[in-house]
Amino acid sequence: MQAGRSEATDRRRFLFGAAAAGGASVLGLGGCATARPAATAAAGVASYDLPPPLHLVRAHPDRIMDITVCLRPFRAQGPRLDVEAVGDKTVVHNYGHGGSGWSLSWGSSAIAVKKALAAGDRDIAVLGCGALGLTSAVLLQEAGAKVTIYAKDLPHQTRSARATGTWSPDSRIALAREAGADFPALWEEMCRTSYKTYQSYLGLPGDPVEWTDRYMLSDLSPEEMRARRHPDPIGFAQYQDRVRDLSPRSKVLIGGQHPFPTRYALRNSSMTFNVAALARRLTADILLAGGKIERRGFESPAQLAELPQRTIINCTGYGARALWKDESVTPVRGQIAWLIPQPEVDYGVYYNNVTMLSRSDGIVIQDTGADEGAGFNDGDETPDRPSAEAALAVIAGLYARMKPPHG
């Protein structure tokens, strides 16, 4: 397993907030992982931190039910949240959230909604119904406003519907050298607000949000992986140290303590968004509260003059690049192969640059690339079946070396 900077970064994304607490003692005691010590608390990991029996993924190409490509709407300065006058309309922008749109949605939309309400109107338009449009609409309604969403694509057709569905609040959110001095604190505010709001979606019918376990698998120890880091070619900002208190620490499991065919497994828990259920829930809540969704595309900002509402929140995501002629929105391509759901698989793995995340609406198989630059400035949304199958082959190779939990 190659363990460069990308791997370390992707591990953080996947396990978010994962400091390897207890790792040193575990690794010290194990010395050489091939010793395969018994899985006991005496080996440095409490028995309740050891994995339960894990069901295997049926990683066959004929179980790929879809291959989707999504473009992350990346802006070097971070998301656009300023207010602009367009004719007699007040437009509050809320776009450009890179690989963090679902994760930061509540916090970013809370800021946009506050600015929209400050304009004085209580009948407000929202452009777009991806993660940012839906959460803006819910928050506007909670504040007592009447809402109409105008969007070219319905929720299940948006780019948000093609996301991995993990808590990743600082994934490709800005460039460290171009984000303003105030941005880290703003990011933290968005992150904390979102995190708190998402906890209120736990345990709802359909599990729109849940916490699931993740395993980062490698034959290299965490120390070896750290030593092999190389520079991020793009220079993305990393802010997770500011919110380390939000996430549990990861546990380093060595051979014998986990069922995987690798020497090490870093175990952690993270929030999973079952995006189909989440988007459906938000849509239903908006409609139940009297909101409207009108299917409508806009070619230019001048067309906003046709809307009856005077205040508009612009949540057009990557679409803002064409609509607003905003070249600061850079596409970052990402592809997912979706396997038929297996409800019995209730965890995720990260192995050899490939992520597997089991969700209620499908199993995500995603090649996250050899480094953080993968997909940067690539606006091609055409699915690539050979590369989807190659990513799946990595996961198939992993499971081929595992025993079924009860077999």
- Which positions touch ligand FAD (CB under 6 A)? 70-73, 95, 97-103, 127-133, 151-153, 158-160, 163-166, 168, 297-298, 315-319, 323, 334, 336
| Least CB distance to ligand FAD at residue 85 (A) | 19
- Are 299 and 225 in contact by the 8 Å Cβ rule? The answer is no
| Least CB distance to ligand FAD at residue 47 (A) | 31
Is residue 250 classed as helix, strand or coil in its secondary structure?
coil
In this complex, which beta carbon is closest to ligand FAD, that of residue 30 or of residue 101?
A: 101
Residue 219 to residue 205: CA distance in whole angstroms: 39
Residue 195 to residue 240: CA distance in whole angstroms: 13
Strand 311-314 and strand 123-127: the pairing is: parallel
In this complex, which beta carbon is closest to ligand FAD, that of residue 97 or of residue 281?
A: 97
In this complex, which beta carbon is closest to ligand FAD, that of residue 92 or of residue 323?
A: 323
| Least CB distance to ligand FAD at residue 157 (A) | 7
In this complex, which beta carbon is closest to ligand FAD, that of residue 214 or of residue 263?
A: 214
| Least CB distance to ligand FAD at residue 223 (A) | 28
Which residue in 357, 396, 377, 12 sits closest to 171, CA to CA? 12
In this complex, which beta carbon is closest to ligand FAD, that of residue 257 or of residue 353?
A: 353
In this complex, which beta carbon is closest to ligand FAD, that of residue 250 or of residue 316?
A: 316
Which residue in 341, 319, 324, 345 sits closest to 405, CA to CA? 345
**DSSP line for 93-148:** E-B--GGGHHHHHHHHHHHHHHHHHHT--SEEEEE--SHHHHHHHHHHHHTT-EEE
| Least CB distance to ligand FAD at residue 81 (A) | 12
Residue 213 to residue 70: CA distance in whole angstroms: 25
Helix axes 131-142, 101-118, angle to 10 degrees: 40
| Least CB distance to ligand FAD at residue 357 (A) | 8
| Least CB distance to ligand FAD at residue 271 (A) | 9
In this complex, which beta carbon is closest to ligand FAD, that of residue 74 or of residue 264?
A: 74
Tell me how long the chain is: 407
- Which residues make beta-bridge pairs with 124? 147, 311
Residue 316: CB partners within 8 Å, gap ≥ 6? 95, 127, 128, 323, 324
